[in-house]
Amino acid sequence: MSDTPRRPKKPETTLVVTASEDLGPGMVRLRFSSEDLGAFAASTQTDRYVKLVFETPQGPVLRTYTAVEPDLAAGTVTIDFVVHGTEGVAGPWARAAAPGDSIVARGPGGGYAPDLTADWHLFAGDESGLPAIRAALAALPAETIGYTLIEVPDAAHEQTLDAPAGVQVAWLHTDGTDVLLDAIKALPWPEGRVQAFVHGEAQTVMHGIRPYLFKERGLPRADVSISGYWRRGRTEETFRDWKKELAEAESGTA
């Protein structure tokens, strides 16, 4: 018998679709209602996420998504889904979802909210990181300065993104190179303490951008929230294995 303590089970909330909205060719926004959003009562992080439970012929599978705008009084919450045609489990479900459809959400979890004492902010990611970046921008005061860089396939995937006037927003079109890393390296670097939030495809984020921020820019880990939300060519299950292997290798336990 293992002596490893089990993690406490995350609370489960049943979410019912109330509306669907296309945000572009690659993203669908679903609005949900729930009789009880009590699990979200203490959740203040802007990268708040839930694990959605999808029933498949092979059994239930979990997919992780950012949950934004939870309103406990109204019993509503919103989730944006990246959709790649008929590929995957969650995207096709979201594209076909209609009012009355329901799904179970486990969580929420989260670990980041903007530090308003930082001198400036850096946000960077692809479409998978966009919902959390949008939520963080909404939490910033009007006088905030910084940069937001979002990588998308092409101009058709750009979206309306509200940000303080001092936060410059740039949409980067994928061209087969490390456009996100190159764009970060090209930024003028203001004086003062920066807080960075960088989330997207794991190879780009963990092997490209992370070394640049920590080694070349010398940012302290406490001022950086950085993680891969997905890995090209992997399902979420095999991606979790990859993240575990990466963590073990970096800690010297592999």
The CATH number covering residue 60 comes to: 2.40.30.10
For 151, phi then psi, to 5°, come to -95, 125
What's the chain's Rg over C-alpha atoms?
Answer: 18
In this structure, is residue 191 part of a structural domain? yes
> Of 106 and 235, which is predicted with more confidence?
106
Last residue of a domain, one of 78, 109, 140: 109
In Å, how far are 66, 122, 126, 226, 250 from 21, measured between CA atoms? 16, 28, 20, 29, 41
Q: 186 lies in which domain range? A: 120-230
Q: Tell me the CA end-to-end span of the chain in Å, nearest whole number.
A: 23
In this structure, is residue 247 part of a structural domain? no
Calculate ∠ Cα 203-176-64, nearest 5°: 40
Report residue 85's pLDDT band, with 50, 70 and 90 as the boundaries: confident
Q: What percent of the chain has pLDDT over 70?
A: 85
pLDDT in tens, 5-14: 566 678 999 9
Q: Which two tokens stand for residue 176?
A: 């087969």
Report the C-alpha gap between 92 and 101 in whole angstroms: 14
Residues 100 and 170 grouped into a single domain: no
Strand partners, 148: 123, 169
In this structure, is residue 239 part of a structural domain? no
In this structure, is residue 103 part of a structural domain? yes
Residues 182 and 214 grouped into a single domain: yes
Residues 136 and 215 grouped into a single domain: yes
Residues 95 and 126 grouped into a single domain: no
Residue 176 has a pLDDT of: 62
Report the C-alpha gap between 91 and 109 in whole angstroms: 21
In this structure, is residue 254 part of a structural domain? no
Last residue of a domain, one of 66, 86, 109: 109
In this structure, is residue 185 part of a structural domain? yes
Report residue 62's pLDDT band, with 50, 70 and 90 as the boundaries: very high
Residue 1 has a pLDDT of: 45
Residues 188 and 94 grouped into a single domain: no
Q: Which residues contact 163 (CB under 8 A, 6 or more apart)?
A: 137, 140, 148, 169
- Surface-to-core class of residue 19, CB atoms within 10 Å of its CB (0-12 exposed, 13-18 middle, 19+ buried): middle
Query: Could you tell me the pTM of the whole model?
Result: 0.87
Q: Is the pLDDT of residue 141 over 70?
A: yes
In Å, how far are 27, 51, 131, 137 from 76, measured between CA atoms? 20, 17, 16, 20
Least confident of 163-167, 171-175, 215-219: 171-175
Q: What percent of the chain has pLDDT over 90?
A: 78
pLDDT in tens, 170-212: 999 986 667 999 999 999 999 999 999 999 888 889 989 999 9
What's the domain count of the chain? 2
If you search the block for the tokens 């049943």, which residue do you land on?
14
Residues 203 and 222 grouped into a single domain: yes
Report the C-alpha gap between 49 and 60 in whole angstroms: 18
Q: Is the pLDDT of residue 241 over 80?
A: no
Residues 170 and 73 grouped into a single domain: no
Task: Give the residue from 34, 130, 118 showing the smallest Cα distance to 82.
Answer: 130
- CA torsion 53-237-87-131 (nearest 10°) is 70
Residue 100 has a pLDDT of: 98
